[in-house]
Structure 1
Amino acid sequence: MQRRMFVKWISVLIIVTFFQTSVGFAEYQEKVENVIFMIPDGFSTSYATNYRIFKGDNISFDSLLVGMMKTNSANSWVTDSAAAATAMATGVKTNNRMIGVSPKGQELKTILEASKEAGKSTGLVTTVSITDATPAAFGAHVQSRKSEYDIAKQLVGKVDVLLGGGRSRFTPRSTEDENVIEIALSEGYRYMDNRKKLLNDSETGTRVLGLFAEEELTPVVDLQTDDQPSLAEMATEALRVLEKNEEGFFLMIESGQIDRAGHVHDPVWAMNEIKAFEEAVNKVLEFARQDQKTLVVIAGDHDTGGMSVGGYNEYVANIELVKEAKATGNKIASMLNKRRSNAKELVKQYSGITLTKKEEKEIKKAKKKEVAIVLNDIISKRAYVGWNTHVHSGVDVPIYAYGPASQNFRGHLDNTDLPKKIAEALEITF
């Protein structure tokens, strides 16, 4: 009797093990046709935690957490966005400020370029300039991230869908320069410069250039008009155009202003940009669930600002305080009168906080370039959000993944591992 029971349990164990192995093997073998690489610039675990508290609920992509990622560049434990994006695009570390080239200046093939060579369509979407460091690193090769006109010229023709800000980077700097928008039109792009054109776009052409601001898009919490699209709306348009290619596509979507908020210690700006990013993620996941051949990878390029959850020698976290705020610190600072005597009124109106006399004095004494930061630090202190730098920190950042081959992103990875694993999933040479 005992022998029969033993044999029976062994048989069950073998069947279960075989089933699990088969499922794991099948999962690994699932075909990946499309990749959507989403980069919340400056986002780390502290931003995730604070946003969860701010939202009052889990983040919609919390369940997709698979690992953590190292972010250092070739010449520093603390990376800038250019080196970070280059590593995430090429699989090779470079020095800070360099785009798409090795520390010695050699051009490096990017995962976007490899996807293009494999017959796939390509796209870049961002809330900052399309020539800024993160999108630039996926399709351009320059010694300095400041060479944004040259970056614009390199992106056009190589990337099928370009949506974001940076219109000024596409126009001539001198009489010797070409108008890059005109070059794009001559190469079959349809051009749009406002949200209405984007939302009404139903054309079948596969190349789109959308430049919705001279520089960066307006922070979502500061928007007072409807002439600029949201990140979710740009993502939706990019997917509509790119999915026409039967060979698949590679799309990078960046939420660039989480980083901007961190640099100036603005929790209102940061939380609202993460909210907009989450909305874009939800649109992407909706597409991926229906398609079933799309790999979605989400990872910040680095931490910005060294944000903490709680602080100021108190066991308190109160970032919910900024939930009803209606403007960034930069916006409030721009509305101050010459003597800054209206600071108390404006801060109350746009953040709900009543300034103390000491805080009013701090605002009045601040240098012109530092007024917004002083405002932000006052609001951060009330919300018990600490900061330890105005640049980046070198902490690891979370990785999220969904879809076929998502299991390959588990564990503690280097930023150079991500494009290699994406190439492996796509079965392309890289």
Structure 2
Amino acid sequence: MFKKIGAVALSTGLVLSAVSIPVFADKPESPGKGHGNGNGGKKVENIIYMIPDGFSADYASNYRVYKGEDAVWDAHLKGMYTTHSANADITDSAAAGTAMATGVKTDNGVIGLDPEGNELSTILEASEEDGKSSGLVATSTITHATPASFVANVEDRNNQTEIARQYISSEVDVLLGGGQNMFLPEADGGNQEELNLIEQAQESGFTYTETREELLESTDIDVEEGEKLLGLFAEDALSPELHRDQTEEPSLAEMTEASIDVLNQDKDGFFLMVEGSQIDWAGHANDAAWAMSDVAAFEEAVEAAMEFAKQDGKTLVIVGGDHDTGGMTTGSGAYSGLNADILNNVTATGDFMAAQLNEDRSNAKEIVEEHTNLTLTEAEVQSIQNASDAALAINHVVSDHASVGWTSTNHTGADIPIYAYGPQSDKFTGFFDNTDIPKTLANILKVNLDN
């Protein structure tokens, strides 16, 4: 059965056939098109920078099949960009996040420093210097590599306790995600040696929330009066979207909406970074259902941002991943068709299903069929029973049924599509590098990103 995948593939081809244009250069505007379509030189007061970690063009194509119609971003494809780091053809999230926040390449594993160790300023900080409020949202620990790249300066991305300390002493107004342990002292089960950064945050003006209900009741915070919002909804990362209904955690869309409600009170505008963190983790696991369900959760957040931008008229929404993860393919086997829609029936991650297997894995067929609505062959059951990594074997069986292929369990060097909606979105048209994105944003906001 034919599934609709043409929009991104065709648009991508058109983009790549164009002459490469440095995206930060001044370019002719498109007059009279309105704020939804590219819209000339209309003033931008707010930036919502949305990063689906690990997402690439094949994720976009498979997601369209999974959803059964175009995604909200498909009509707003502008270009593609390269992602290599300073010391590797294939970037990690720290180097990619740093490039996307500062406009400077750095080495893998490094956040907010150039390869010589010099501290870099970010587009978020440049926005703050211009009087804007700021926020970070993620479904990982909020101290993870991508959100950290917009505020912190550390040699090692794994130093999340130091990143937490830098957050609390920074000017950022909203922090929402997982990672309570990064803010709590060891005496309270956390990872800080002695500091209780949650208490310090509260003393410095942060309202602290731990549950979805608390978050939804806290949006009357007045950033104009110096009030801030810290929401840490899990000890570590938030749950995969497939398991969110078993928690008291807010969705990515709810965190995005709450952040906008708080930050929009600033008359000078705001800068908000939103990361769909676990698309990347699903890619590492080759877990197609986890990937697609977290893309769906990310799309709900993008819809919320674009709806605000549509009503506001002065907000630019940028959507672009930091790199591809897993080398996902749209289709596998010999012209087998596209079946990613069957992933809607999957109710658990491969990791969860593997954890339900008994010692000899004799219940593999029962467990996988219960959570996938698939009928497994004997060969597929044996592949799970004999595998050194049961979760990966389950994920490959499910992916094969969905006609989703994988080439890696790590990142790849694939080029990444960028989507933009709102005033001056046409400035992202073309083929460029990830470092050009913050430079273009600085140009649009007329702020100084001096690196």
1:205 is aligned to 2:222: yes
Q: Structure 1 residues 210 and 278, CA, compared in 2 at 3 Å: closer, same or farther?
A: same
- Distance between the aligned counterparts of 1:21 and 1:84, measured in 2? 30
- Distance between the aligned counterparts of 2:122 and 2:350, measured in 1? 37
- Distance between the aligned counterparts of 1:409 and 1:22, measured in 2? 16
Of the three residues 387, 391, 396, the one matched with 2:410 is 391
- Single out whichever of 172-181 and 348-357 deviates more from structure 2: 172-181
Q: Which has the higher helix share?
A: 1
Q: Which residue of 2 aligns with 1:309?
A: 330
- Single out whichever of 172-181 and 188-197 deviates more from structure 2: 172-181
1:193 is aligned to 2:210: yes
Describe the superposition over 1:193-229 as per-residue Cα deviations: whole angstroms up to 9, x where unpaired.
1111011224333310000111111111123424010
Q: Which residue of 1 aligns with 2:148?
A: 136
Q: Which residue of 2 aligns with 1:180?
A: 197
**Secondary structure of residue in 2 paired with 1:323:** helix
- Distance between the aligned counterparts of 2:192 and 2:180, measured in 1? 18
CA contact (8 A) 1:222 1:331 kept: no
CA contact (8 A) 1:195 1:226 kept: no
Q: Which residue of 2 aligns with 1:277?
A: 298
CA contact (8 A) 1:44 1:302 kept: yes
Cα deviation for residue 317 of structure 1 reads: 1.8
- Distance between the aligned counterparts of 1:25 and 1:242, measured in 2? 24
1:158 is aligned to 2:171: yes
Describe the superposition over 1:377-421 as per-residue Cα deviations: whole angstroms up to 9, x where unpaired.
111111111101110110101000011111111100210000011
Q: Which residue of 2 aligns with 1:225?
A: 246
**Secondary structure of residue in 2 paired with 1:380:** helix
Q: Which residue of 1 aligns with 2:383?
A: 362
Q: Which residue of 2 aligns with 1:376?
A: 395
Unaligned runs of 5+ in 1: 1-19
Of the three residues 66, 69, 78, the one matched with 1:66 is 78
RMSD: 1.7
Unaligned runs of 5+ in 2: 1-28
Cα deviation for residue 354 of structure 1 reads: 2.0
CA contact (8 A) 1:43 1:259 kept: yes
Which residue type is aligned with residue 405 of structure 2?
Answer: G
Describe the superposition over 1:338-393 as per-residue Cα deviations: whole angstroms up to 9, x where unpaired.
222221111111001222222222222223xx211110011111111110111011
Describe the superposition over 1:58-86 as per-residue Cα deviations: whole angstroms up to 9, x where unpaired.
11111110100111111111100000000
- Distance between the aligned counterparts of 1:56 and 1:398, measured in 2? 20
Q: Structure 1 residues 336 and 423, CA, compared in 2 at 3 Å: closer, same or farther?
A: same
Q: Structure 1 residues 322 and 186, CA, compared in 2 at 3 Å: closer, same or farther?
A: same
- Distance between the aligned counterparts of 1:46 and 1:25, measured in 2? 30
CA contact (8 A) 1:212 1:228 kept: yes
The residue correspondences of 1:345-360 to structure 2 (distance < 5 A) are: 345-360=366-381
Which residue type is aligned with residue 376 of structure 2?
Answer: L
1:28 is aligned to 2:40: yes
**Secondary structure of residue in 2 paired with 1:158:** coil
- Single out whichever of 327-336 and 283-292 deviates more from structure 2: 327-336
CA contact (8 A) 1:269 1:328 kept: yes
1:216 is aligned to 2:233: no
Which residue type is aligned with residue 338 of structure 1?
Answer: E
- Single out whichever of 149-158 and 315-324 deviates more from structure 2: 315-324
Which residue type is aligned with residue 298 of structure 1?
Answer: V
1:170 is aligned to 2:189: no
Q: TM-score, normalised by structure 2?
A: 0.88
Q: Which residue of 2 aligns with 1:243?
A: 264
1:234 is aligned to 2:255: yes
**Secondary structure of residue in 2 paired with 1:296:** strand
Q: Structure 1 residues 335 and 286, CA, compared in 2 at 3 Å: closer, same or farther?
A: same
Of the three residues 114, 122, 134, the one matched with 1:110 is 122
Describe the superposition over 1:21-64 as per-residue Cα deviations: whole angstroms up to 9, x where unpaired.
75489943311111000000000000000000111101111111
Identity within the alignment, %:
49
- Distance between the aligned counterparts of 1:65 and 1:55, measured in 2? 18
- Distance between the aligned counterparts of 2:268 and 2:327, measured in 1? 41
- Distance between the aligned counterparts of 1:21 and 1:297, measured in 2? 18
CA contact (8 A) 1:82 1:98 kept: yes
Which residue type is aligned with residue 42 of structure 1?
Answer: G
Q: Which residue of 2 aligns with 1:10?
A: none
